[in-house]
């Protein structure tokens, strides 16, 4: 599948967990390395093959298995509100608040996603289930590189 999962987590969601990896189309993390609790996030499938309407979060205990599952629907968090408005899609219409993986495009199906509210919900979920987890930065993602500032120096005099 061409969901570009690694790019979504590395470049957009930017979760603060140092022990994390993307395997296939799922993100795995140990928000608090000393605890036996792990976080798994993947795309939440709809009844249609290759269509996803949110992110599925799971807390997994290393010895006891899955403890909890929650789905954050893209539509509920305004993730594709701008894209869908531009396309003339309204809530309840086919394709609203979803991404599809039906083609072999060079572009991620989630291009244009607004992750601000999703990131805040992930933070709330993780901090509820995994005590001591570092907080997720809930503002917009940082620029990839800082804008260089013009350097000024005093004028030379003779």
* 47 found inside a domain: yes
* 23 found inside a domain: yes
Residue 18: its pLDDT value, please?
Answer: 86
* 22 found inside a domain: yes
Structure tokens belonging to residue 113: 């996603």
Q: Indicate left, alpha or beta for 125 from its phi (over 0: left) and psi (-120 to 50: alpha).
A: alpha
Residue 46: its pLDDT value, please?
Answer: 95
Q: What torsion, rounded to 10 degrees, do the Cα atoms 24, 64, 124, 78 define?
A: 40
* 53 found inside a domain: yes
* 136 found inside a domain: no
* 155 found inside a domain: no
Residue 79 belongs to what domain range?
Answer: 5-129
Structurally, the chain folds into a number of domains equal to: 1
* 48 found inside a domain: yes
Rg of the chain taking only CA atoms, in angstroms: 19
Q: Any residues with CB less than 8 A from the CB of 140 and at least 6 apart, and which?
A: 116
* pLDDT tens across the length of the chain (158 residues): 478 999 999 889 999 998 999 999 999 999 999 999 999 999 999 999 999 999 999 999 999 999 999 999 999 999 999 999 999 999 989 999 999 987 777 888 898 899 999 999 999 999 999 999 999 876 555 433 333 343 344 444 44
């Amino acid at each position: 599948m061409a969901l570009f999962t690694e790019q979504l987590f590395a470049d957009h969601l930017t979760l603060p967990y140092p022990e994390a990896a993307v395997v296939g189309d799922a993100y795995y993390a140990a928000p608090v390395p000393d605890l036996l609790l792990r976080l798994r996030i993947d795309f939440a499938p709809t009844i249609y093959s290759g269509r996803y309407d949110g992110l599925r979060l799971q807390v997994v205990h290393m010895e006891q298995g899955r403890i909890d599952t929650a789905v954050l629907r893209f539509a509920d968090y305004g993730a594709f509100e701008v894209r869908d408005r531009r396309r003339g899609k309204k809530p309840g219409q086919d394709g609203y608040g979803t991404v599809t993986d039906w083609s072999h495009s060079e572009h991620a199906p989630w291009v244009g996603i607004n992750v601000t509210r999703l990131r805040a919900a992930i933070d709330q979920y993780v901090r509820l289930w995994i005590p001591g987890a570092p907080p997720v930065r809930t503002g917009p993602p940082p620029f990839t590189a800082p804008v260089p500032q013009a350097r000024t120096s005093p004028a030379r005099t003779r």
